[in-house]
Amino acid sequence: MSMERSLPLRAVVLDWAGTIVDHGSRAPVEAFRELFRRRGVPISVEESRAPMGMEKRDHIGAILAMPRVADAWRQTHRRDASDTDLVAMYDEFLPVQRELLAHHADVIDGVLPTIAACRQRGLRIGSSSGYAAPLMDELVRLTRAAGLQLDAVVAATDVPKGRPAPWMIYKNMERLDVYPPASIVTVDDTTVGIEAGLNAGTWCIGVIETGNLFGVASGELAQLSAEERAARRATGERTMLDAGAHYAIASVAALPGVLDAIAERLAAGERP
């Protein structure tokens, strides 16, 4: 890290599913599994989750490329999956996911107070998602009634390429009119989201318990034993830190304290 002049913290860019809504990031999992079931190639929850955070067309392609899935596809269809299959599955994914969104648009506990705390610090609040723009429009509509209001919403289809490319972070910077990247914090529950934040040059915080790494609803999380929860949290922290995250937190509820720590490091001249 280089030591430079003091720089204020200016913005936070939040992921959506698993970070601020949809505890456990379950809606995409259900959609991908339904999509492959319809093709006669059932996939597991783990296979569905592995590429989580990517733009959804890329996500489907990543699943199709998995050796077990590719072999199952060949056995079922007597050929390899083609680009035509990928396009058709993506087109079908959108209405399937739209239908599921209404059941997984819950705002995660602690998010609204955290956003209020960020605004009290004078921070702008942006967001990014692997969802396409039509799905994000629906999700924004569904969550508005719960009081979720952000300053910028960037969908994967708003940029040339989704995560781990940095373009959604840069689009947030443009819409929020904030820079440089070192004054911005990316918060995401997937490692590919952390990669995107690093590629953009921002501070990166990985979310563990409410998102893809735990993959459970809030009620299921509460039922875990203290020992299992601690063990899974430790594994999640290692995963996020190994991916390059500067910090790992259980949920967005813990974000304000970490933002204070980052602000202190910026004031001291540190950069991500």
Report the percentage of the chain scoring pLDDT > 90.
96
Copy the structure tokens of residue 100: 């599921």
Residue 49 has a pLDDT of 95
Whose tokens are 């959804």? That residue is: 56
Catalytic annotation present for 58: no
pLDDT digits (tens, 9 = 90+) for 77-106: 999 999 999 999 999 999 999 999 989 999
Q: Are 70 and 85 in contact (CB under 8 A)?
A: no
Question: Do 155 and 175 touch, CB atoms closer than 8 A?
Answer: no
Give the pLDDT of residue 4.
58
- pLDDT of the residue at 6: 82
Report residue 240 as tokens. Answer: 């996020």
Task: Inform me whether the pLDDT recorded for 26 exceeds 60.
Answer: yes
Whole-model pTM?
Answer: 0.92
Which one-letter amino acid corresponds to residue 144?
Answer: R
Are β-strands 11-15 and 203-207 bridged in parallel, bridged antiparallel, or unpaired?
Answer: unpaired
Contact 183, 9 (CB under 8 A): yes
User: Catalytic annotation on 171?
Assistant: no
The one-letter code for the residue type at 78 is R
**Alpha carbon distance 72, 49 (integer Å):** 18
Same fold, 11-25+105-267 and 27-101: no
At 3 the pLDDT is 46
In the prediction, which pLDDT does 1 show?
42
Q: What is the mean pLDDT of residues 24-51?
A: 96
* Number of Cβ within a 10 Å radius of residue 135: 26
Q: Which residue has the tokens 């035509």?
A: 84
Q: Nearest CA to 205 among 264, 254, 269?
A: 254
Predicted confidence (pLDDT) per residue in 113-156, tens digit: 999 999 999 999 999 999 999 999 999 999 999 999 999 999 99
Q: For residues 216-233, give the mean pLDDT.
A: 95
Average pLDDT, the chain: 96
Q: Decide: 8 and 263 in contact? Cβ < 8 Å.
A: yes
Name the burial class of residue 40, with classes exposed (0-12), middle (13-18) and buried (19+) by CB atoms within 10 angstroms of its CB.
exposed
Catalytic residue among 22, 56, 151, 158: 56
- Indicate the domain borders of the chain: 11-25+105-267, 27-101
The arrangement of strands across the sheet holding 124-128 comes to: 124-128, 11-15, 184-188, 203-207, 247-249
DSSP state of 181: G
CATH class of 27-101: mainly alpha
CATH code assigned to 11-25+105-267: 3.40.50.1000
